[in-house]
Amino acid sequence: MTVIKMSRIYLYLLIFTLLNSCIGMKITFGNDNEKNYFDVLTQKLVKNGFKEDQIKAIYDDQKTKLALTSVALFFSHNESQLNYDQFLSKREIKKAQKYLKKHNEILTKVEKEYGVKKTIITAVALVETRLGTYLGGSSILNTLSTLSAIESPELKEMVWEAIPEKRRIDRETFERKVTTKSKWAYKELQAYLTYVFKEGIEPASIKGSYAGAIGISQFMPTNILAYAKDGNNDGRIDLFDHQDAIASIASYLKHYGWKPGISDEDAYKVLYYYNHSKYYVDTLLKISKELEG
């Protein structure tokens, strides 16, 4: 009886130990293993001047994770082209006219301050985010972090496998783009973290386009630091606020050469900086003329 009893005790202890070990392994796998993909990135961020405790808090957070689907889009063939004519429909122009009326005070103020026509600012907001109604749902932090860390061989393969086979670019082009996009994303990530720390925003909270563009004006983080403005004078820059976004669009366009009385030819060149697409620029100019009546 004693032997049997002792054997059962040892058996229970063994089972308990194994279960406890498995639970521990599960926690490690679910929490730390994914974060290992960001280890080199976090060390780099700290080396480049970010506070270690802040960076650790961000990348230890469960909300910080790989964004394979979003990042895969950077390396996919674009089979469809946006139909810009949709923004010239009577329905969309009517929405833009209502927007002009609703935000006339800030638009008029910004037009006087920056010399950028309110109709062109409205046109940008319409095409970029349908006047702030379509802002994107991708995590900016996760997208930029994943793309910044993509040169890790294992992560690179994970992204490659995440690209739909029918839309995959060739491997040589993929390898070349990985290097350039990773460097680009790291600069944007640095700018993003600088922005959210300055504004006191939770890093994981901001959603935007798959490419990392933010707010009504769809600014990349480097453009936020360079051109974004506090349109409502509340001491903060929030591109999800219409007044801030309107002032920021005007600031950007003025920087690239917009001025009162600008010719169509020069206006085209300025707007091309916002989006390198002929169709995009042509659409903005047409919308602006429609709004001018």
Residue 212, in any domain of the structure? yes
Q: For residue 32, give both structure tokens.
A: 């730390």
Distances in whole angstroms, Cα of residue 196 to Cα of each of 51, 191, 193, 224, 233: 13, 9, 5, 11, 18
The answer to whether the CB of 225 falls within 8 A of the CB of 244 is no
Residue 24, in any domain of the structure? no
Q: How confident is the model at residue 36 (pLDDT cuts 50, 70, 90)?
A: confident
Q: What percent of the chain has pLDDT over 70?
A: 87
Residue 49, in any domain of the structure? no
Residue 7, in any domain of the structure? no
Phi, psi of 23, rounded to the nearest 5 degrees: -60, -45
Residue 19, in any domain of the structure? no
Residue 74, in any domain of the structure? yes
SS3 percent helix, strand, coil of the chain, rounded to 5, is 70, 5, 25
Number of domain units in the chain: 1
pLDDT of residue 27: 28
Residue 175, in any domain of the structure? yes
pLDDT, tens digit (0-9, with 9 covering 90-100), for 172-209? 999 999 999 999 999 999 999 999 999 999 999 999 99
Of 81, 262, 77, 64, nearest to 149 by C-alpha is 64
Contacts of 86 (CB under 8 A, 6+ apart): 92
pLDDT of residue 273: 98
Running DSSP on this structure, what letter comes out for residue 169?
A: P
Of 221, 63, 240, 199, nearest to 148 by C-alpha is 221
Alpha-carbon distance of 152 to 138, in angstroms, equals 22
Which pTM was predicted? 0.87
Phi, psi of 101, rounded to the nearest 5 degrees: -70, -45
Distances in whole angstroms, Cα of residue 60 to Cα of each of 64, 65, 141, 186, 240: 7, 10, 13, 19, 27
Q: How confident is the model at residue 8 (pLDDT cuts 50, 70, 90)?
A: very low
Contacts of 191 (CB under 8 A, 6+ apart): 220, 221, 222, 224, 225
Q: Is the pLDDT of residue 2 over 80?
A: no
Show the domain range for 240.
63-292
CA 114 from chain centre, in angstroms, equals: 26
Residue 56, in any domain of the structure? no
Alpha-carbon distance of 174 to 156, in angstroms, equals 10
